[in-house]
Structure 1
């Protein structure tokens, strides 16, 4: 039997996924069904681009719903015990500075299901998170990214 991938996440992250799933099932699904119904009324389906587009969107939506259901079903909630430590871990927010004189950057390390780098949420599978996990305040860490290597010092962990 194949074991499904586990998705570590915070309680808030799981709640956000559940809300998105509910929206897709109750609102978006109905919108697409209505679009299909209207497109069918135009007649010949073999030359009906509106129908084809709506059916394509329906397939994409159902795939997204299936993915979210799997992520929620296989979620592993990060507990407070795991957060009560002074080392970098999943669920922690880390501030570091690139050496010798770079700017400070702050990221929260989350599971891949919650990752959103624009909002400062990076996946625990990312090169930055992998290099930082297990380290402590004042540690100097070499991070290898697709853009090259950088040396950082951890300033704060919360």
Structure 2
């Protein structure tokens, strides 16, 4: 089964593919041809660097196209008072009283250092569909813990949130 993607995720991936195919690819091909024209390829660092960069771009295009081909589109809408995708939720960890805010995103956009947690992570999965004031059990491979949902911010997704987030 493929990645879970929202319609917005799909639009942003398609935009990246288009950018790579229509703008970056021609520029990389030109750089490769320029480097090739410098003569002996056996010791031509510019040629190998240009070739590597072109190949990385092509690999990225193929990866993104494959991701779209096998993706499962999910709905990012939720009730006004329930935690859903692209919402920011503040929770209190019962064991130490710490409060943290996280934005719930699809797995391909998760980035814990930016407080973007996946809807497939233990915490993300646990809080989805719950409301402010709910006490939620988060189950992990190592055991479980409880959090209380303190605040919920319904955040609409903007295109800026997706720039190079894949």
Instruction: Provide the TM-score with structure 2 as the length reference.
Output: 0.71
2:119 is matched with which residue? 124
2:73 is matched with which residue? 76
Q: Cα gap change, 1:19/1:119 in structure 2, threshold over 3 Å: closer, same or farther? A: farther
2:38 is matched with which residue? 42
- One of 93, 97, 101 as aligned partner of 2:97: 101
**Structure 1 unaligned spans of 5+:** none
1:58 is matched with which residue? 54
Matched, 1:16 2:23: no
What do residues 99-139 of structure 1 show as CA deviations (whole Å, max 9, x unaligned)? 34213x22222222333445543222323213333544321
- One of 26, 30, 50 as aligned partner of 2:26: 30
CA distance in 1, matches of 2:87, 2:144: 23
RMSD: 2.9
Q: Does the 8 Å CA contact 1:45/1:51 hold for their aligned counterparts?
A: yes
Q: How many residue pairs were aligned?
A: 150
CA distance in 1, matches of 2:87, 2:141: 20
Instruction: Provide the TM-score with structure 1 as the length reference.
Output: 0.74
CA distance in 1, matches of 2:135, 2:22: 48
- Runs of 4+ aligned structure 1 residues displaced above 6 Å come to none
Q: Cα gap change, 1:15/1:87 in structure 2, threshold over 3 Å: closer, same or farther? A: same
CA distance in 1, matches of 2:12, 2:151: 27
Measured after TM superposition, the shift of residue 86 of structure 1 is 4.5
1:5 is matched with which residue? 2
What do residues 3-51 of structure 1 show as CA deviations (whole Å, max 9, x unaligned)? x514322x33322222222211122212211210111011111221211
> Which deviates the most, 118-127 or 49-58?
118-127
1:154 is matched with which residue? 149
Name the SS for the 1:113 alignment partner: helix
